[in-house]
Amino acid sequence: MGRKSRIGKGWKNIMILIRGGRVVDPATGRDERADLVLEGGVIREICAPGQAAETDFDQVIDAKNLVAAPGLVDVHVHFRDPGLTYKEDIHSGARAAARGGFTTVVCMANTKPIVDNEETLRYVLAEGKKTGIHVLSCAAVSRGFEGRELTDMEGLLAAGAAGFTDDGIPLMDGVFVKKAMEEAARLDTVLSFHEEDKSFIVNNGINHGAVSDRLGIYGSPALAEDALVARDCMIALETGAKVDIQHISSGHAVRMVRLAKNLGANVWAEVTPHHFALTEEAVLKYGTLAKMNPPLRTETDRAMLIEGLKDGTIDMIATDHAPHSAEEKARPLTEAPSGIIGLETALALGITCLVKPGHLSLCELMKKMSFNPARLYKLDCGRLEAGAPADLVLFDENEEWTVTDFASRAANSPFVGERLTGRVKYTICEGKVVYQDR
Rounded Cα–Cα distance for residues 216 and 33 (Å): 55
289 shares a domain with 424: no
- What CA–CA distance (Å, rounded) separates 142 from 158? 17
58 and 118 together in one domain? no
Q: Identify the sign of the CA torsion 111, 114, 115, 121.
A: negative
Indicate whether 373 and 266 sit together in one domain.
Answer: yes
Please check if 208 is assigned to a binding site.
no
196 shares its domain with 48: no
Vertex 183, ends 112 and 231: CA angle to 5°?
A: 85
Question: β-strand 15-25 against 59-62: which pairing, if any?
Answer: parallel
Q: What domain range includes position 118?
A: 71-379
Task: Provide the CATH number for the domain around residue 60.
Answer: 2.30.40.10
Give the containing element (helix H, strand E) for 215: helix 210-215
Half-sphere exposure of 64 (CA within 13 A, CB side): 3
Residue 300: CATH number of its domain: 3.20.20.140
Residue 31 lies in a domain: yes
Local mean pLDDT, 10-residue blocks, the chain (438 residues): 37 83 97 95 93 82 97 98 98 98 98 98 98 98 98 98 96 98 98 97 97 97 98 98 98 98 98 98 98 98 98 98 98 98 98 98 98 98 97 98 98 98 98 96
Beta strands in 40-71 (DSSP E): 42-47, 59-62, 67-70
In a domain? residue 410:
no
Residue 8 lies in a domain: no
Residues 64 and 170 both lie in one domain = no
Do 64 and 203 lie in one domain? The reply is no
Query: What integer pLDDT is reported at residue 12 of this predicted model?
Result: 55
Task: List the one residue out of 437, 438, 428 whose CA is nearest residue 43.
Answer: 428
Q: Give the distance from CA 171 to its chain's centroid.
A: 22
Those residues whose C-beta lies under 8 Å from the C-beta of residue 74, and which sit 6 or more positions away, are 97, 102, 104, 105, 106, 318, 319, 321, 343, 346, 373
214 and 359 in a single domain? The answer is yes
* Residue 226 sits in the same domain as residue 311: yes
Cα separation, 245 vs 194, in Å, equals 7
Let me know whether 174 and 91 are in one domain. yes
293 is in an annotated binding site: yes
pTM of the model: 0.96
Instruction: Give the pLDDT score at 55.
Output: 72
102 is in an annotated binding site: no
Is 10 inside a domain boundary?
A: no
Helix (H, G, I), strand (E, B) or coil at 266: coil
Question: Could you give the residue numbers annotated as active site?
Answer: 320
Residue 212 pLDDT: 98
Answer yes or no: is 252 a known binding residue. Answer: no
Task: Indicate if 348 and 199 belong to the same structural domain.
Answer: yes
Please report which helix (H) or strand (E) contains residue 364, including its range. helix 362-366
Up-side HSE of residue 407: CA atoms within 13 Å toward CB? 20
The three-class DSSP label of residue 113 is coil
What residue ranges in 98-152 does DSSP mark as E strands?
102-107, 134-137
Residues 64 and 78 in one domain: no
Please, which residues have CB within 8 angstroms of residue 119's CB and are 6 or more apart in sequence?
Answer: none
pLDDT in the model for residue 353 = 98
Contact 154, 122 (CB under 8 A): no
In a domain, 4, yes or no: no
Domain check: are 82 and 51 in the same one? Answer: no
110 is in an annotated binding site: yes
* Cβ atoms 98, 429 nearer than 8 A: yes
Work out how many domains the chain is built from and give that number. Answer: 2
Count of all residues that appear for the chain in the document: 438
186 lies in a domain? yes
* 2 within some domain: no
> With 0-12 CB in 10 A as exposed, 13-18 as middle and 19+ as buried, what is 359?
middle
Cα separation of 197 and 221, whole Å? 10
Tell me, yes or no, whether 343 lies in a domain: yes
* Residue 13 labelled as part of a binding site: no
